[in-house]
């Protein structure tokens, strides 16, 4: 069976959500998946730096280290993992281009048999799960617990296991 490809797309300002996204990626790697880390861009990077001065260094680093998700990433993926700050939803400007791209891919039938997972980082997680389910993706879940990094890692493993089971049944 071909290696499972996981694209972890996240939005983070101060690094907390980035750490959770990375934990999900580690879980996926533990299941022998290949990963691609992508960060949705700030609508206005200069304004984000000014608006969140306490996160200036983290934002600058993430602006340099990560590329934005591309259509080719999503088409090649077996699993789409999403992580966002608690105050940013799929309707937020930061996620608009990503969600539009997912909608186009859904309408073209290119999301069939893909698995999704949403890192639970607060109130926005439910909105992301609902959006992904509406696009026909099977949304993986993982056990709950007190340690959010452990939960994110378990989610990465669960999503890959679900995608591998889907591939095996085809």
Complete domains list, the chain, with CATH: 5-168 (3.40.50.360)
35 three-class SS: strand
pLDDT value, residue 1: 67
Rg (CA), the chain: 15
- The tens-digit pLDDT sequence of the chain (170 residues) is 689 999 999 999 999 999 999 999 999 999 999 999 999 999 998 988 899 999 999 999 999 999 999 999 999 999 999 999 999 999 999 999 999 999 999 999 999 999 999 998 888 999 999 999 999 999 999 877 779 999 999 999 999 999 999 888 87
Q: Quickly count: other Cβ atoms within 10 Å of residue 127's Cβ.
A: 17
90 SS3 class? coil
Is the torsion defined by CA of 52, 53, 55, 59 positive or negative?
A: positive
How are beta strands 34-39 and 138-140 bridged, if at all? unpaired
Strand 115-118 versus strand 79-84 pairing type: parallel
pTM, full prediction: 0.94
């Amino acid at each position: 069976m071909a290696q499972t490809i996981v694209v972890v797309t996240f939005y983070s300002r101060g690094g907390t959500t980035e750490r959770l996204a990375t934990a999900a990626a580690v879980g996926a790697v533990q299941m022998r998946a290949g990963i691609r880390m992508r960060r949705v861009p700030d609508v206005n990077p200069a304004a984000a730096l000014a608006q969140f001065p306490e996160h200036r260094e983290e934002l600058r680093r993430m602006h340099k280290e990560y590329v934005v998700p591309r259509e080719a990433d999503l088409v090649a993926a077996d699993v789409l993992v999403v992580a966002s700050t608690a105050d940013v939803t799929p309707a937020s400007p930061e996620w608009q281009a990503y969600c539009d791209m997912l909608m186009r891919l859904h309408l073209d039938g290119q999301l069939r048999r893909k698995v999704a997972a949403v890192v639970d980082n607060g109130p926005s997680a439910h909105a992301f799960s609902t959006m992904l389910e509406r696009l026909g993706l099977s949304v993986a879940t993982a056990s709950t617990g007190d340690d959010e990094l452990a939960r994110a890692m378990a989610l990465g493993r669960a999503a890959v296991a679900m995608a591998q089971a889907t591939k095996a049944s085809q």
